Amino acid sequence: MPVTTRIVMLVDMESFYAGVEKARRPDVREQPLAVAGDPSIPSSAVLAACPIAKRHGIRTGERLSSALAKCPQLIAVRPRMGEYIEISAQIAGILEAYTDLVEPYSIDEMFADFTGSLHLYGGSEEELARLIQARIAVETGVRARFGIGANKVRAKLACDLVAKKTESGIFHLHRQEDWEYRIWPEPIRRMWGVGSRMERNLHALRILTIGELARMPLGKLQARWGVNGEVLWRVANGIDDSPVSPWAAREQKEVGTTITLPRPYAQRIEIEAVLLDLCTEIGRRVRRMRMMGDILTVGAGGEGGYRKSTGFHRRTRLDDPSDITAELYEVSRRIFHEGWDGSPVKRISLSLSGLCAAEVYQPSLFENRERNRAIDRAMDEIKDRFGETAIVRGSSFTDAGRARDRAEKIGGHYK
């Protein structure tokens, strides 16, 4: 019996946040627009730029002041994360009308497997992509791009490296010859999974393109980077056996958050107030999931980001899995002060991993864990009924505390 070639699509929303804003405001459709963290703060980061703004050289991640210098007529708007999440879910629902195998990859990217359903629509892969693309545009006002391939890696790179450059926004990598012709000549930095550090490491081996990585002996890459070396080689060769799974997004292995502070914090008491707010947030999230974790990671960075001279990233394993805010706070405070060199801090991150079900845990004879757990549950119930700011810790009312400000945001941005 012949093996059926899979039909996988990576659906990417063009300039998603900016696209949603333009759909909401037709009067600015022909003007350059960017979504910025806070348009009133020149140092705020650009979160998304529309295609018109990008033609002025504006890029995601740059400072708003730099973007305005390039394009003084730029319209900068504040993000509305709640609406972006709703529209992302709406787009997922559109895809699910054509296949039950839809896997969110990010808020603006989704994998979909049409292997078992394409025949229902009586056309080619490209025709189905055009149909869905038109429906997304009509129902949401957002333009979608489609990369089509035999697996998730090929679909992702078909979208990132080819479809985004085409007028139609759709590209199908049919054959191995297409892969070698279209993908292999691209610079190694454009390959999925290669960051700036790995790019430098690969350049040191005189690997400058994806094709040069694909032709590198696998054993040499494994000897240098182990499993990661094999992953790089497989991506470069378009090899990927992983399924498109609608459950993938729910199999969460870590709960984390990062906060950029309104100013550099240099005082111990200020930083500890932020750590307590973050531990309160993380603890509430894992309790809502009915999970606990036993690996806590704390990171910090100065104005320049996570540089060796101004930042650190440390983790430790807890004695027992925990979802208790007080326990997470005590450990995070210890980790932080072990790594902190006293330099002003502009960014703090916290994550809890090693997650397991909260129903089974080891009680302690020497610590009153149940009392602390009862306090957390009581605070959770009050917040569930009356809102996130109905009850907050005293340190959150100080100038350093961030809990009340974060309650107005999703993912660090305004709802």
Q: Which two tokens stand for residue 93?
A: 């629902």
Asked if 12 contacts 159 with a C-beta cutoff of 8 angstroms, the reply is yes
Q: What pLDDT score was predicted for residue 239? A: 95
How crowded is residue 66: how many other Cβ atoms within 10 Å of its Cβ?
14
- Would strands 102-106 and 109-113 be described as parallel, antiparallel, or unpaired? antiparallel
Domains annotated on the chain, with CATH:
1-172 (3.30.70.270), 188-236 (1.10.150.20), 252-414 (3.30.1490.100)
CA angle 280-283-289, nearest 5°?
A: 140
CB count, 10 Å around CB of 100? Answer: 12
Q: Using an 8 Å Cβ cutoff, are 154 and 6 in contact? A: no
User: CA-CA distance, 19 to 16, in Å (whole number)?
Assistant: 5
Strand 291-301 to 356-357 pairing: antiparallel
Given this model, what pLDDT does residue 306 score? 40
Tokens of residue 51, six digits: 């295609």
Q: What pLDDT is attached to residue 410?
A: 47
Please say if 270 is a catalytic residue: no
Return d(Cα 399, Cα 415) in angstroms, integer: 22
Q: Are 18 and 49 in contact (CB under 8 A)?
A: yes
Which segments of 97-151 does DSSP mark as H helices, in order? 125-140
* Residue numbers of the chain with a pLDDT score lower than 70: 1-4, 247-252, 303-310, 359-367, 387-415
What is the β-pairing status of strands 75-77 and 33-36? Answer: parallel
Q: Please pick, among 14, 86, 103, 109, the residue that the annotation labels catalytic.
A: 109
Q: What is the pLDDT of residues 12-41, one digit of tens each?
A: 999 999 999 999 888 998 999 999 988 888
pLDDT of residue 74: 95
What dihedral angle (degrees, nearest 10) is formed by the CA atoms of 192, 87, 63, 159? 30
State the Cα–Cα distance between residues 89 and 346, nearest whole angstrom.
33
C-alpha distance from residue 325 to each of 177, 265, 285, 366 (Å): 55, 22, 11, 18
Which amino acid appears at position 237 of this protein? Answer: N
Neighbour order of strands in the sheet with 46-49: 46-49, 33-36, 75-77
Reduced to 3 states (helix: H, G, I; strand: E, B; else coil), residue 31 is coil
Q: Are strands 109-113 and 8-13 parallel, antiparallel or unpaired?
A: antiparallel
pLDDT digits (tens, 9 = 90+) for 108-138: 999 999 999 999 988 899 999 999 999 999 9
| Numbers of helices and strands, H then E, in the chain | 15, 15
DSSP string across 18-84: HHHHHHH-GGGTTS-EEEES-TT-TTPBEEEE-HHHHTTT--TTSBHHHHHHH-TT-EEE---HHHH
Helix (H) or strand (E) holding 312: strand 312-322
Residue 309, pLDDT score: 44
Burial of residue 374, with CB atoms counted within 10 A of its CB: 0-12 exposed, 13-18 middle, 19 or more buried: exposed
Question: What does the DSSP assignment read for 179-204?
Answer: HHHHTTTSBGGGSTT--HHHHHHHHH
C-beta separation of 259 from 406 below 8 A: yes
Name 144's bridge partners: 13
